[in-house]
Structure formats: structure tokens, C-alpha cells
Structure 1
Amino acid sequence: MFSAISSLVAPFNDRLANKAQSSHFRDALVISRKKHTLSPSETQHAIFNYMPSWITMLMRLRNRLVKLLGFKVGQTNFTTSKTELDVGDQAGFVTVLEKYADEIICGAEDRHMHFYISVRLDTNNIIVSTLVNKKTLLGKAYVNAILPFHYVIARVVINSARKAGRI
């Protein structure tokens, strides 16, 4: 099911690595590029703008639960009508923080954690990286609780984009 993706156990020294703080979670997934004309922003849109309905339902449930604990909640996905985003633009619950010719970095922050996602392109691959700086004990507990879901959902969403021919 996930054969197109190879997981990076230790993400490389990229722009997102510079944002890591002492208590953090970091991972990266790599998939080969088929559409070499897409920008990082267009690639992010092609991957995350089309969430399967079961993931959207899980995110809605998550939002209801974590709102009670003081987590910031917003949209349940990265949906945006623009395929080419600029710094400051919203893509669902994240904001574009940095944009380069080969990478787009988005993030969301609340009192418990700071979440980042990067979509970086190299000659042959798409690298989707996640970084979460955990600020509180509750933030640490939350990240540990959702990791099994994160591992499955990230792979499903990226492979879905590949199967649909969007990336």
C-alpha cells in the first residue's frame, strides 16, 4: 500500500531542521516526482487539497476533543482555492511562512506546540517533512497520542495524490 514512499528515519539538514527546538518531533517522507513542472506550492496543493473524507471526519473529531484542552483549532485540512501560495497566505489551518524555488514551509502555532510542514522538491523527489516543537506537557502528550494516526494519514494522503496523477 505504501510502496511508492520511502520513509526517512533522520531527516536531512534542510531549512525546516533550523526550526527544531529541544523538545520536538520530526519526520520526512519521500516519493518520486512524476510531474516535474509543479512548483512546491502547487505540489502541496496537489497533495493536501484532496483529503479523503474519512481523514476529514477524523480531523473534525480531533478538533472537538482538543479544543476542550486549549488547543487552537481551525479548518480540518489544507484546503485553499489558490494553487500558488505566497508568504502569509492561509492553506486551511496553516499559514505560508517561507517560500523558495524548491520548498514551501507552512505552520500553525498555539500555546502547546508549533507545527510546521515543508514540501521540498529536488530533481527526482518530493520530500514532505513535518516538524512539531512541543511547548507544554500537554503538547508532548498530544503529539505522542496522534503519532500512529500521523504515520498512516501522511502516507495515505501522499499515495492518494500519486494514484490520482496529481504529483
Structure 2
Amino acid sequence: MSRRNKNKRKELNPYYCDSFKVKTSKKDLEAIEVYHSIFGFLPMPVQWALKIRNSIVKWLGFSASNTEMSLPLEDIVEGKKAGFLTIELVSDSEIICGAYEPNMDMWLSVLKISEQEFAVSTLVNLKTTSGKLYMAFIKPFHKLVAKYCIKQALKADRI
């Protein structure tokens, strides 16, 4: 999450965070365009994995939400829902989305670092033992999925 964000830092112990630097092939993109190009076009294998995840975790007290995170670019505004995420901040340089549930709170950020570099970051505050166990299991998959979605956006020449 950006330190320039008007909100104070969101990390609480225990938490998980990661960040992936993305060098775009296109110039003059805004954070919202990079967000839309990555998460608005989830690859079919990722959608299937999310459906499987949802069918399992709903029995464990986690939200089993819509796997569709896409919105038309013009509909990506603060307060709007995009799948299980709520868009909290939209600026030229950063977009932050959040999700809140009993076991964990999660934020996703796309931050413009330079003309053709962006950071795609995740922060998860783990509230319960179930949340910690879930994160321990899902962490390797999360990293693979994040990298795969970014690579697919680059391969499709969206960013």
C-alpha cells in the first residue's frame, strides 16, 4: 500500500503482504488502466481455481464470492464493488480495493512507480486461527496466480 495514501498504515499483526513490480510495454498508463488490464480479464484457469476455492471455503466460514472482478473501465470508481472487492481509492497513481470478512481483511493496490513501472501489492490482516491456516495453505497459489495474471496481461499487450 502506498505510504502517500491518505489512510494510515493498515498492517496489523499477524499479516501477509507481497508486491510484484510490473514493467509495462505501454507508456502513459494510469494505475486504473493497469488494474483493469490485469484483473478485468482473469484467465479461465484462474476463474476455475477461484470457483474450486469458493466451493471449499464456504464450508469453513470464508466468503465464497463472485469470481468476476471485471468492471468496465469507466465504472471503476470509489465505493463500487468489483467481485469480492470494494474499490476504496482511485487516483492517477494508485487504486486500492479492499475486502472485509470475519477471518481476514484484504487490500489490493496497483501503484504507479514510474512511467512504465507499477507495483501490484496485496496486504492481508489475519484475524483468526482459521485465517492464518487458510493463508498458510493459499500463499503459494496466490503468488502463482498473481504472477500468471500479470504475465497474461503483458502477453495480451494490454499493459
TM-score by length of 1: 0.86
Structure 1 residues 14 and 23 mapped into 2: Cα distance closer, same or farther (>3 Å)? farther
Moved more, 133-142 or 47-56: 47-56
> Where do residues 54-93 of structure 1 align in structure 2 (5 Å cutoff)?
54-83=45-74, 85-93=76-84
Moved more, 46-55 or 15-24: 15-24
Describe the superposition over 1:16-54 as per-residue Cα deviations: whole angstroms up to 9, x where unpaired: 881111110000000112223322112101011111111
Equivalent residue letter for 1:131:
L
Asked whether 1:149 is paired with 2:131, we answer no
Tell me, in whole angstroms, the C-alpha distance in 2 between the residues paired with 1:153 and 1:44.
Answer: 15
Tell me, in whole angstroms, the C-alpha distance in 2 between the residues paired with 1:134 and 1:14.
Answer: 24
Equivalent residue letter for 1:145:
F
Of structures 1 and 2, the one scoring higher in RCO (CA 8 A, sep 6+) is 2
Q: Which runs of 5+ in 1 are unaligned?
A: 1-10
Give the alignment's Cα RMSD to 1 decimal: 1.9
Alignment equivalent of 2:12, drawn from 14, 21, 25: 21
Tell me, in whole angstroms, the C-alpha distance in 2 between the residues paired with 1:70 and 1:14.
Answer: 34
Moved more, 96-105 or 106-115: 96-105
Give the corresponding residue for 1:116: 107
Tell me, in whole angstroms, the C-alpha distance in 1 between the residues paired with 2:27 and 2:8.
Answer: 25
Alignment equivalent of 2:121, drawn from 123, 129, 134: 129
Alignment equivalent of 2:97, drawn from 106, 121, 140: 106
Give the corresponding residue for 1:41: 32
Structure 1 residues 129 and 17 mapped into 2: Cα distance closer, same or farther (>3 Å)? farther
Tell me, in whole angstroms, the C-alpha distance in 1 between the residues paired with 2:109 and 2:68.
Answer: 15
TM-score by length of 2: 0.91
Matched residue count: 157
Give secondary structure in 2 for the equivalent of 1:68.
helix
